[in-house]
Structures are given as C-alpha cells and as structure tokens.
Amino acid sequence: MTLPSSLRLRMIVLFCAVSCVLLAGASIVFYFLLQTEVSGESDQQLLEIARPILVAITNSSGPEMIDSLNVPGEYFELLDSQDRVVHESLNLKAQLLRFPAPIDRTSPTFQRIYDSRFGWLVVTFLPFQHGNRHFVLAVAIPSRAAQILTDFRQLIVLLVPVGLLFTGVTAAWYVGKSLRPIRDLTRHAAEATSRISDPQRRGAAITLPVQNPADEMGRLALTFNQLFARMHSIVEQMRQFVTDASHELRTPLSILQGETELILSSDRSAGEYRQSLTVLESELKKLSRIVEGLFTLSMADAGELRLAKDALYLNELVETSCQLVLPRATAKNIRILTDVPAEPVPYFGDESFLCQLFIDLLDNAIKYSPASTSIHVRLIRAEDEVRVEFQDEGIGIPEHDQQRIFERFFRVHATSGEGQSGGGLGLAIARAIVSAHNGTIGLSSSVGKGSTFTVSLPKPPDPAAVHDGAPASSDSDSRAIKDLHA
C-alpha cells in the first residue's frame, strides 16, 4: 500500500487507522463481555422458571394443574422419549415451537432459537425421569440477551463509522492547524529564495509570525527568523562589498585607461613617457594592493589564512616597523616615540603579517595626523597577553563610526590617494591578522584629540621553549623609551 505523499494526509490516515483498530477492538471485547454477562443472566432466569413447572409436572395429578402454571411470555413443552409433545403451555395455542434436533437427553442444555411469532427465544432442555418414563421439559422465554446483543451490534455498526468520521475531521483540523507554521515557513522560505535572486524585491529581512515562542513550532519559527536575518545581513554585506570593491577598482582602472590613451594619442618626449609610466606604476601598485588585500581577506573569511609559526621578538618587530615608516613620518615632521621593554619579548607568530599589521596602523597614524605631532608606540607585557598600542594626536574618529571602522572599504575620511592607502581595507586586514593570531584589536578615539589602536596578542604558552637558546622573557620591566625622529 502506498501512503499519500502529503504529510497532512498521511497523519490523518494514520489517526483514522489507529482509531479504527481501537474502536473495533474495544467493540469486539465489549460485545463478548456483554454476551457472557447477559447469557448467564437469562440461563439463570430460565432455570428459575423451569423449576416450579418441573415440580408441578412430576407431582401433578392432572393437566389442569400444569395449565395453571401458564404465564404470558413463558412457554414450555413436555417431550416424551420420541420427542413427541405430550403437553405444552396454553399460550402456544397449539402452534408448537421448532427445536433443532437432536435434543441432548443426558444433561440440561441451553439454546437460542428464532420463532417467527415470538422472535428470538432462549430455551432450556431439562431431561428428567418420571416413573420409568423419560421426558424432556423445554422452557422458552423471549431472549433479552439476543435483543441486547442485536442492539449492540447495530450500535457498533453505527458508532465505528461515526467515530472514524469524527476522528478524521478532528485530525484534519488539528493537523492542519499544527502544520500551518510549516506551510508558512515553506512559503516564506520560497519567498526569501526568490527575493535573494531578485534585486527589485530587496528590503527588510523576512520574519515569520511566532504564535507561541515556547512550543516547538514557535522555536522553529524563531530559529528561521534568526537564519533569515543572518542571511539577509550576509547578502547585504556581500552586495555592499561588491559595490565597494568595484568602486575602489574603478578609479585606478579609469586613471590607467586615461593615461594610456593619452600616451598613445601622439608622440611624446622621453620625460613625458617617464611621467606617464610613473602614474601607471603608482595606479598599478594601488590596484595590486587592493587585490592582494581582498585575497588576504577572502582567505581569512575561509579560515585559510596560512600563518607561519615564526619564533620572533615582538620588541624587535615593533622597532623595525617604526623604522620602516620613519621616512613618511619625517616627511610630515611627525615624531615616533617608542616605549618598548629593553629585554627581548619572545613571540610565536607570522612575522610578515605582524609587520604588515604594525606598518598599517603606523601609516594610518601618520596619514590622519597633522604635521609636527607625535605618535606613541608602546609594547606592554601583561599577565596573559602582550599589548601593542599606537597612539596618535590626529583628527580622531567620531564615536558613531568607531563601530564600523574595521569593516572593509569603510572610510571616515576620504584619503588623498597618496601614501600607502589600503583602499579602505587596511583595518579590515589588521583585524583579520590579529584574529588569526587569536588576538583582539580595539580602538579608543576622540575627534580632534587623536586615536589609540591597541593590538592584544595572547602570550605564547612557553616562550623559552619556542625560542631555543633565546633568553627567556623577564618580568623585570626595564624599558627603553626612544624618540626615533631625534
């Protein structure tokens, strides 16, 4: 047998089948219990009716005496050894009852017979001996049991289909009501799918109605709402990312195109060619930085940012990074003041990524600080982490933008394009590098006063083991504060 494909129909069929089996089983059990009960009762009644008749027959001096025992609704016949009726009750009016042969003459028996005049009768056959003659007294009364059982059968025949119909209707209503959230869910999920692929129908995230957040359907709807919200935000982020990325790529590309067209439009002097090629080189560098940045971020998103496990000294790396940006700082008359421990601070991480991180933060500090200000770089060893702080006296970042500052392509201030612009990816990459080292990056800033970016890196478990032969880090904090500009 194949079940209907709809869950609702399958559940209704299942409910009806279970109810049918239960109803039929219960009816059969009740029927047999009732049958046993009422038959036992009528057999007892028959014996009570038969007893005085039997006494009267065995003691009778004449048929009149027996006739006086005739009672309406109680019939009897006295049969001789050849089953001939020798006497019958007056109410039979000479129309004898027909008994199925043969009659048991050894012990009392009970039977149910149908008579066209009286309907169902229950009969007892009582064999007895009078003198040397053998008789059977047959006593019959209308069968109450048969009537009750017939009524009960009719009731069952009516009750089972009505019960099934009731079960079917109730199941259809309840299952339909219970499955409604799933239908809604299916509809909304389909709508969400079509919305994702249809740019015309963008909008707020889809939310399913939650009737009862405590029941299973409510929790399912809540979970789907979270899923839809997450999907919506991811899709929106992706859209925004594609828009921003294409915008970022378009500018250098159009400069490249314009510059190339200009060179090709007429013959140029060697100086002019050199000048154009310098522009091309700068734009190509910008492009490749953006593409490299996007590649790094996509690797980080996929959890595939391959980090080298270099054994290094963080104090040296911080100093080196500061030295590398020094020419750009000096060009703006910005002083870089480093405050790092004199002792080596061993660390275990990717040297080139960490160097890129420090340089990006230093470059930003230089880029967004007015001339003749200072940048403070501190390396602090705490209980279970190492912190590197980059504090500038620059333009600062408004509070409402601080939340979004690490998003890709997010910019508070338009950059002039000169310098090491990461195309708005610098801080996003910084966060990805720090996360890949299981660290965190934080910001505190106030507009007009400056910003402090703090990189917190967890201490490696056993720096001495990592740096074989290298001096173990000392907790006695002898520090060297240096002015690199001086």
Nearer to ligand ADP, 341 or 396 (CB): 396
Shortest Å distance, C-beta 339 to ligand ADP: 18
Q: Is 368 in the site for ligand ADP (CB under 6 A)?
A: yes
Token representation of residue 57: 């027959």
Per-residue x/- track, 392-411, ligand ADP (CB under 6 A): x-xxxx-------x----xx
> Which of 364, 391, 456, 473 touches ligand ADP (CB under 6 A)?
364
State the number of CA atoms in the 13 A half-sphere of 457 facing the CB.
25
Q: Residue 350 phi/psi, 5° resolution?
A: -90, 110
Looking at 132-140, 159-167, 206-214, 421-429, which segment touches ligand ADP (CB under 6 A)? 421-429
Shortest Å distance, C-beta 296 to ligand ADP: 13
Q: Is 452 in the site for ligand ADP (CB under 6 A)?
A: no
> Which of 412, 447, 466, 470 touches ligand ADP (CB under 6 A)?
412
Tell me, rounded to whole angstroms, the distance of Cα 214 from its chain centroid. 14
Q: Are 173 and 158 in contact, with CB atoms under 8 Å apart?
A: no
Nearer to ligand ADP, 92 or 428 (CB): 428
Shortest Å distance, C-beta 328 to ligand ADP: 13
Token representation of residue 317: 């790396």
Shortest Å distance, C-beta 376 to ligand ADP: 12
Tell me, rounded to whole angstroms, the distance of Cα 27 from its chain centroid. 43
Token representation of residue 437: 């080292």
User: What are the residues whose beta carbons fall under 8 Å from the beta carbon of 386, sequence distance 6 or more?
Assistant: 314, 345, 347, 379, 380, 456, 457, 459
Shortest Å distance, C-beta 416 to ligand ADP: 10
Shortest Å distance, C-beta 247 to ligand ADP: 13
Nearer to ligand ADP, 270 or 414 (CB): 414
Shortest Å distance, C-beta 277 to ligand ADP: 24
Instruction: Please give the C-alpha separations between residue 47 and each of 138, 141, 157, in angstroms, as whole numbers.
Output: 11, 11, 33
Nearer to ligand ADP, 325 or 395 (CB): 395
> Which of 293, 424, 439, 463 touches ligand ADP (CB under 6 A)?
424
- DSSP strands (E only) in 430-475: 440-446, 450-458
Q: Is 109 in the site for ligand ADP (CB under 6 A)?
A: no
Shortest Å distance, C-beta 341 to ligand ADP: 24
Residue nearest to ligand ADP (CB): 426
Determine how many CB atoms are found less than 10 A away from the CB of residue 312: 22
Nearer to ligand ADP, 276 or 373 (CB): 373
Q: Is 426 in the site for ligand ADP (CB under 6 A)?
A: yes
Token representation of residue 329: 């700082």
Nearer to ligand ADP, 6 or 298 (CB): 298
3-class SS at 428?
Answer: helix
Shortest Å distance, C-beta 362 to ligand ADP: 9
The sign of the torsion formed by the CA atoms of 335, 341, 344, 346 equals: negative
CA angle, 322 as apex, 252 and 381 as ends, to 5°? 125
User: Which amino acid is residue 259, in one-letter code?
Assistant: E
What length is written for the chain?
A: 486
Nearer to ligand ADP, 74 or 244 (CB): 244
Question: The tokens 């990189």 sit on which residue?
Answer: 455
Q: Is 297 in the site for ligand ADP (CB under 6 A)?
A: no
Determine how many CB atoms are found less than 10 A away from the CB of residue 29: 10
Shortest Å distance, C-beta 406 to ligand ADP: 8
Judged by CB under 6 A, the number of residues near ligand ADP is 23
Nearer to ligand ADP, 138 or 432 (CB): 432
Q: Residue 482 phi/psi, 5° resolution?
A: -125, 140
Per-residue x/- track, 24-53, ligand ADP (CB under 6 A): ------------------------------
Q: Are 124 and 110 in contact, with CB atoms under 8 Å apart?
A: yes
Q: Is 358 in the site for ligand ADP (CB under 6 A)?
A: no
3-class SS at 206?
Answer: coil
Q: Is 427 in the site for ligand ADP (CB under 6 A)?
A: yes
Looking at 118-126, 240-248, 309-317, 362-370, which segment touches ligand ADP (CB under 6 A)? 362-370
Instruction: Please give the C-alpha separations between residue 121 and each of 34, 152, 328, in angstroms, as whole numbers.
Output: 18, 18, 121
Token representation of residue 298: 């996509």
Nearer to ligand ADP, 141 or 427 (CB): 427
Q: Are 87 and 77 in contact, with CB atoms under 8 Å apart?
A: yes
Q: Is 439 in the site for ligand ADP (CB under 6 A)?
A: no
Binding footprint of ligand ADP on the chain (CB under 6 A)? 364-365, 368, 392, 394-397, 405, 410-413, 415, 421-428, 451
